[in-house]
Amino acid sequence: MSGAEIVIKALADQGVDVIFGYPGGAVLPLYDALFKQNSVRHILVRHEQGAVHMAEGYARSTGKTGVVLVTSGPGATNAVTGLTDALMDSVPLVCLTGQVPTHLIGNDAFQEADTTGITRPCTKHNYLVKHVDDLSRAMHEAFYIARAGRPGPVVIDLPKDIQFAEGDYLGPDEITHRHYRPQTVGDPARIAEAVDLIAGAKRPIFYIGGGCINAGPEACKAVTEFVRATGYPATATLMGLGAFPASSPQWLGMLGMHGTYEANLAMHGCDVMVAVGARFDDRVTGRIDAFSPGSKKIHIDIDPSSINKNVTVDVPIVGDVGAVVGQMLESWKKKNPQIDGKALEKWWGQIDSWRAVDCLHYEQGQAPSEAIKPQYAIDRLYQLTKDRDAFITTEVGQHQMWAAQFYRFDKPNHWMTSGGLGTMGYGLPAAIGVQIGNPDALVIDIAGEGSTMMNIQELGTMAQYNLPVKVFILNNMWLGMVRQWQELLHGGRYSETYSAGLPDFVKLADSYGMTGLRANQPDQVDDVIKQMLETPGPVIVDMVVSQEENCFPMIPGGSAHNEMLLGANDHQEQTKTEDGMVLV
């Protein structure tokens, strides 16, 4: 068997049915092998970054490992942003990169790049296969490593001569990693300690992160069951949305920089915090020395390095969320603890008073002269699609935060966004990947006009495969989030944030043979959304929204959870400290 055939056989044996890629000189043998088989489908992208985001969207919506195939040199370097994104958001990927033949490595050959060197800090692990006999092992180990423990991207660099070389194939059952076995089951003593702490809480909160989603739908079910069993309030990070149903009365909304008033104040004022698969990211904690000062913290995470990294916790539990929460639930049921109902009632009373502030409130005038509020557009999109089990992806910026605030998720794996890296241009290719993995589903990319332009070339991929993705652009003609920071922190000096030179998105859609729709007035919003949903095939919606709208609530850089800005009139009160300014 040739090296290229070994790769394809390994993919098939790993259950891979689709890969996202772009051909080139150093992967010609692989593309030749692809041509001669039927088990693996190839999706031709328009840029390698797009391929990686598609694989991410595919992986996150299906729970499978995403696979990417790119050529050497520029193919590999173009994939770097996507790989970093997958690393930050713990998405299981295997990325195959072509490489110049082994005898040319180090010679500055045509389209040579030190791929393993470049991708070392932006992958969970990587391989350079120098002998065809090592190829099966690298392939199967890569799939294992991508999924085991905290998931992440794995690169396999494949020199062209290895793809041609003849070697023996070993199946997945014949290969195990020598020693990489992340701990999945929690320490029972810690679990008992945590359960006692949770049972005795007076002002508790569950802080749910993307780790729950990564642990799978069963783990999310266990988390939901545990939260319900306690009757305690729950919030989630941007990455954790959908792990706990937003329709539950115990749901407080997202927390963090643009999280809800009630979620952030509950985090600030709680006495017991249960962090489940969350990593105390700076977008979540705000000013770290003022983060939830009076609470005992329980932290469940599969990655030991996430524990005590940003915030010191009282009860660390290393393990898989599904396993650990299962253990906790069992212990909880066995103990059937007496919780302090009176204290809990008081706590909910306090939370209800924060809820009454209605921090996500916006005013949408209905007169034709009024501008469409972006919040209104997303609100209506949610209302008109909530019964359709839609998959939502986003780009990065204001629209992303509004989507997180106004679109409500009851199920995991339906929300795909670039959280850790904040990669503009993520949403369109991710939506394509989601659609490939879920051909009959409604897939919507909630986008901004700025981010959309960053991977706009993938419209070509959408067109080629006639994917019915709906690109829902909130067009405010500004790089809105940066403009907002310039307004609030840099004296309204809008340096280079105006979106000049934009295409006419309706005509753009037309030129790709897609449907383009536009709404300029509030009373057109519903009609356009309905039309978008009724139109088969790909649709681009140009939702022309208010240019001035800012995303609130907001915890400015360097501020604590209880120093939130609720609206535009609030911002004079904020102290513009140097410390706050240097934070991003």
Q: State yes or no: residue 531 binds other proteins (CB under 8 A).
A: no
Q: State yes or no: residue 181 binds other proteins (CB under 8 A).
A: no
Of the residues 62, 102, 111, 116, which one makes contact with other proteins according to CB under 8 A: 116
Angle (CA) 435-439-443 rounded to 5° is 40
Q: State yes or no: residue 582 binds other proteins (CB under 8 A).
A: no
Of the residues 15, 106, 117, 513, which one makes contact with other proteins according to CB under 8 A: 117
Could you give the string, one character per residue 285-314, with x where binding to other proteins holds by CB under 8 A and - elsewhere?
------------------xxx-xxx--x--
Residues 6+ apart with CB under 8 A from 155: 76, 83, 95, 96, 97, 115, 116, 119, 123, 126, 127
Indicate the residue among 12 and 105 with the shorter CB distance to other proteins: 105
Which of the ranges 43-51, 112-120, 496-504, 550-558 carries the binding residues for other proteins, by CB under 8 A? 112-120
Q: State yes or no: residue 514 binds other proteins (CB under 8 A).
A: no
| CA 580 to each of CA 160, 411, 573, 583: distance values in angstroms, whole numbers, following the listed order | 50, 36, 14, 5
Name the one residue in this structure whose structure tokens are 């059937």.
336
Count how many Cα atoms sit within 13 Å of the Cα of residue 400 in the half-sphere of its side chain: 25
Indicate the residue among 142 and 555 with the shorter CB distance to other proteins: 142
Q: Rounded distance, CA 354 to CA 214, Å?
A: 31
Instruction: List residues with catalytic annotation.
Output: 48, 110-111, 160, 481
Q: Rounded distance, CA 216 to CA 225, Å?
A: 14
For residues 454-493, which are near other proteins according to CB under 8 A?
Answer: none
Q: State yes or no: residue 408 binds other proteins (CB under 8 A).
A: no
Indicate the residue among 183 and 520 with the shorter CB distance to other proteins: 183
3-state secondary structure of 248: coil
Which of the ranges 33-41, 116-124, 340-348, 455-463 carries the binding residues for other proteins, by CB under 8 A? 116-124
Which of the ranges 177-185, 379-387, 415-423, 546-554 carries the binding residues for other proteins, by CB under 8 A? 177-185
Q: Rounded distance, CA 363 to CA 163, Å?
A: 61
Q: State yes or no: residue 155 binds other proteins (CB under 8 A).
A: no
DSSP per-residue string spanning 510-579: HHTT-EEEEE-SGGGHHHHHHHHHHS-S-EEEEEEB-SS----SB--TT--TTS-B-SGGGGGGS---HH
Output the smallest distance, CB 544 to other proteins, in A: 43
Q: State yes or no: residue 179 binds other proteins (CB under 8 A).
A: yes
Radius of gyration of the chain (CA): 24
Q: State yes or no: residue 15 binds other proteins (CB under 8 A).
A: no
Q: Reduce the secondary structure of 153-193 to three states and give it as a string.
A: EEEEEEEHHHHHCECCCCCHHHCCCCCCCCCCCCCHHHHHH
Which of the ranges 117-125, 271-279, 339-347, 410-418 carries the binding residues for other proteins, by CB under 8 A? 117-125
Q: Interface residues with other proteins (CB under 8 A)? A: 116-117, 120-121, 124-126, 128, 145, 150, 177-180, 303-305, 307-309, 312
